[in-house]
Each structure stands twice: as structure tokens, then as C-alpha cells.
Structure 1
Amino acid sequence: MNNNFSVIMSVYAGDKAEYLDAAVKSIHQNTLPPAEIVLVVDGPVGEEIKTAIKKYESQDPDSFRVVWLEKNQGLGNARRVAMDHAGCEYIAVMDADDLCAPERFALQMKYMEKHPETSVLGGNIAEFIGDVDHIVGKRVVPADNESIYTWLKGRCPFNHVSVFFKKSDVLSAGGYLDWHYNEDYYLWIRMAEKGFTFANLPEVLVKVRVGKEMYQRRGGWKYFVSEYKLQKYMLAKKIIHPLRFAWNVLLRFLLQVLFPNKLRGFVFQHFARN
């Protein structure tokens, strides 16, 4: 099993140095560490983050590559820049405040080598608050290609921070494009249009930090408008039919616009998580 894959990450002003340090350590401590980490600094960041980044660069300048952006360009654009600088065909996505499971990359590379037809491979995530062992929920996604295609018509079928994909296949679908809050979902939809093969592993591959602010980010008019436009795109491309479109939009309007944060959090934790 080779380690010819890149891990792409981005940081911005809102990230914490201690979380970034824990995320990078979880990558390096994997049973199959990557050939390189490509980190995009999305606009100005604080001195603590800068110090941590420069430490990683000095320790391993050949395999820890940093791209500095003068202005914040958003997550989708930062991912695209990271992909442009990644030197490997296989790419793993990671967030700057999450933790990889120790065998994440070994499991994913083994699967991709055994199933070369697969373009995108994700897995399940466990969400925690504060202490890493304080698990408050798990997001379990469908495993096989057919189920993923069905799920995609109503919800994003991947946990984005867990994905491991072929760079050439993602680029052939246009790569990451700016789409407010939904760059990843938009990408999977476009890849589905081209008939690429998807899969998810049943294991928890990443532990994700969450909190009350997570539900605030998933609500509000801007978030709803982004989701509404995505549903319109799927309707126009005949991925979903008009009744499914109406149902999807209604649910999102209720959840993202009408529900207060506490109620939205309750729904996510009890109906959208295991």
C-alpha cells in the first residue's frame, strides 16, 4: 500500500492554533501518513496560527506546503487553490479543527486500490463538544453507489471532511466552485451527472468539533437561498422531479428559516444524527 496522496486543508482568521495543531498531529500519527499536506491560509490570520504554521514548515519543508492568500476567498475557493497545489492524484480533505481516526488513510487507500473504479470515498463522522471523548452524535451516510445516488436527491451524501478522491475525476467535473455553504454538495451533484462511482466506508473516519454555533451556521436566509438554488439546479438537470423539489425546499425553509437555533439543534441531533 503506497502513501501517494495529498491532504488538503485551509485555515482562516476564526480558527484556533491549538485545534490546528491537534488536527495536524492526527494526520502525522496515522498508520499511513500522506506524502504531503497542502495548507491554504485563507486571508489574514492571528500570530498564534502563523507561528504554528511556520513551525510545521520548518520541521518538514518538503511535505508541508503552505499557500498564503492575501484576502479571504471562502472555503470553496480555498479548496480549489489547495487542489491546484497538490501533487498527488489521490487527495484527502481535512478541516483545521477536526481529528483523523488513526487508520483513516490506510482504510481509504486500501479500498481505492481494491476498487479503482471509485472516484470519491468518504466515511462516517463522530461529533464531539469540548473533550474528544464527549461524543454527541454520529452522521452515518449510505455506503454503496446506488444508495448514495438516491440520498443525493435529498441530502448531501458525504461527510466532506472524510472524503478521499481522485483529483483528475474531480477536476473533470469542474472541481470546487464557489457556492455559498454548499461547495461540496454542488461538486458531488456535478460528478453524479457525469456518472462517477461513489462509496462510503462504515467506519468513523473523522471526529468533528461541534457546538451551538454549528446550528446557527446552518440556519438563516442566506443558507436557505443557497440550498434553494441548489435544489433548482437539480430540478433543471432533472436529477429530481417537481414534487421532490417542492418537498426539499419546504423542509429547508422550515428548518433554516422558521426554526430557532435551539429547535434546529434538536432536530439535527435527534433526526439527522445517530
Structure 2
Amino acid sequence: MSFSVLLSVYKDESPSYLKQALLSIWDDQLLKPSQIVIVRDGPLTSDLNSVLVDFKAVLGGVLTEVSIDKNVGLGAALNEGLKHCQYELVARMDTDDVALPNRFARQAEFMLENPDVSVCSTWVQEFDQNLKNSQGLRKVPVSHEEIVNFGKRRNPLSHPAVIFRKSAVLGVGGYPPFRKSQDYALWSLLLSRGYKMANIPEVLLHMRTGDGLMARRGLSYLMHEYRILRFQKDIGFIGWKDYLVNLAIRTTVRLPPAPIKRMLYKLAR
């Protein structure tokens, strides 16, 4: 089955992580992608460029590089990259994560067997920055109905482990224009338009999170969440009750000291 893999990279990312991600996408996969689209979100360092040059030498026409003059953020970069994806099925990857060898085979098979599903993600194992120590398992709801209900409170899909139908995402205008949580905004928009989603209850991706993740999600992150909540209400995905409840929950979770936030995150996960 033919499919594209879509990534975006910017100057602050790690060359060694990028290399690991690309190796997991190509060398280690049981089912290799027909196309890998990687967006240069602004100018890159010489080390990042070197990694891409090396992989271009190996992959040849499989690798499609898209360059943007200045950093525009993940959502806008992915929208640009999506224009260059040649296939209906598009798998997402982040440049610091590792796809397990059966990821694409499992997801491609699932999408083939379920033509009514527009977006499919999986469970994700979270690790420290060295991918040595597990930080926990992120389980997401499996059925469409569970995803709709869960999505009214929290992000129901793991973005780096998603595979979607290009026509569905383009049908709603691509990723909404947010610098953060643009994936949650997109899932909310798709669900509000009646598109069907599913999650495979298997770990098919290892994600770097690290202990500093929750500490970084303070007041500035909360402001981004406020904007997403307003967007969800405006498109009719949530009503006033859910909007106010979510507002209270997120304010409570984001403002405490880092140790408390880490504890709340583990409980929620």
C-alpha cells in the first residue's frame, strides 16, 4: 500500500534525534513508505542539513524536501508539506520520536480494512530524552464514540503516531492556524464535521518527553489552551458547559508548581 510520511524540522532540533527518527521510518520498518516529505521550517543548522543530505543520498526520490524561508510553526509547516504528499494516506512523525518496526504495516492495514475511518492513531510509550527510562504509557480511547467524548476534555489522539486520509484533512482546510495544540484543534474540527476516528490499542511509537515537559507547560501554554477552547466552542464541538469546565480544569493543572503538575499528569495518563 502506498503512503506518505510527513515531518517538519526546525533549527533547534537535535541532529542525532532526527537521524534516529528517519532510521525508524525507513531502515527499521517492515512496510516502508512510498514517500517521505520533510519540511525545513526555516533555515537549519549545518548538522541538521548534513543529516538530510546523507538520507537524500540513500533515499533518492523517496525523500521530498520542502523549504520555508522563515520559521512558521508546526501547523503551518505541515500544511505546506501536505501539498507535496503524493498519496491519500499520510502518516505523521515528529523528528525526535521513534516508530516501532510494525507501525506503518499495522496502521496501513487498519486503514485499508476500515475505509470509513479518516484518522487513526495508537498508544504511545513515553520516555526520557535518551529513550532509556519509561515515563509512562499514554493510552487513548479506541472507538469513535469514546474518542468524541474524551475529546471534549483532552486530546484524544497522539499526533506523532497518527495516520490520516489527506482528503479529509484538506476537506476542513488543513491544520488550523495555531502555534501550539494545532493537532487538537484539527481533530476537534474533523469530529465536529462528522469524520470518523479510531485508535489502535497497541504501542507503535516511542516518544521523547522528559521530566521537564510538564514544568514547561505553565501560564504561556495555558493561554494557548484558552484559544483552543474558544475555537472548539466556536465550531460547535463543545458547548458553554464544557468550555467553562475545561477552563477551570486547565487553569488548575497548569498553574501549580512542577512536582504537582507531574503528579496530576501521571494520574490523568
Could you tell me the TM-score, scaled by structure 2's length? Answer: 0.95
Q: Distance in 2 between matches of 1:188 and 1:248?
A: 17
| Equivalent residue number for residue 263 of structure 1 | 260
Q: Does 1:17 align with 2:42?
A: no
Question: Is contact 1:139–1:272 with CA below 8 Å preserved after alignment?
Answer: no
Name the residue aligned to 1:251.
Answer: 249
Secondary structure of 1:212's counterpart equals coil
Deviation at 1:157, TM superposition (A): 0.5
For residues 173-193 of structure 1, the C-alpha deviation after alignment (integer angstroms, 9 at most, x for no partner) is 111122131110111111111
Q: Deviations over 1:127-152 (max 9, x none)?
A: 11144342111110000000001111
Closer, same or farther: CA 177–99 of 1 in aligned 2, 3 Å: same
Report the Cα offset of residue 262 of structure 1: 2.6
1:169 aligned residue: 168
Conserved 8 A contact 2:189-2:235: no
Distance of 2:92 and 2:195 partners within structure 1: 18
For residue 261 of structure 2, what is the amino acid of its counterpart? R
Partner residue, 1:69: 68
How far has the Cα of 1:200 moved from its partner?
Answer: 0.3
Question: Any gaps of 5 or more consecutive residues in structure 1?
Answer: none
Structure 1 residue 48: deviation in Å? 0.9
Aligned 8 A contact 2:96 2:207 in 1: yes
Give the SS at the match of 1:18.
Answer: helix
1:141 aligned residue: 140
Counterpart mapping for 1:1-274 below 5 A: 2=1, 4-28=2-26, 29-220=28-219, 222-256=220-254, 258-268=255-265, 270-273=266-269
1:3-53 deviation digits (Å, cap 9, x = unpaired): x10000111111111111110111111110100111111112211111111
Q: Which amino acid aligns with 2:10?
A: Y
Q: 63-72 vs 99-108, which deviates more?
A: 63-72
Specify the SS of the correspondent of 2:233: helix
- Structure 2 CA distance, aligned partners of 1:42 and 1:56? 18
Partner SS state of residue 225, structure 2: helix
Counterpart of 1:254, as a letter, is T
Report the count of equivalent residues. Answer: 268
Q: Could you tell me how far apart the structure 2 residues matched to 1:228 and 1:193 are?
A: 19
- Structure 2: which 5+ residue stretches go unaligned? none
Residue type of the alignment partner of 1:86: C
Distance 1:77 1:236, change over 3 A: closer
SS in 2 for 1:85: coil
Bigger mean CA offset, 258-267 vs 52-61: 258-267
Q: In 2, Cα distance between the equivalents of 1:127 and 1:68? A: 30
How far has the Cα of 1:247 moved from its partner? Answer: 1.3
Percent sequence identity over aligned pairs: 33
Q: Distance in 2 between matches of 1:193 and 1:259?
A: 32
Root-mean-square deviation (CA, aligned residues, Å) is 1.3
CA distance in 2, matches of 1:51, 1:233: 39
Query: Runs ≥4 in structure 1, deviation > 3 angstroms?
Result: none
State the alpha-carbon separation in 1 of the partners of residues 217 and 170 from structure 2: 27
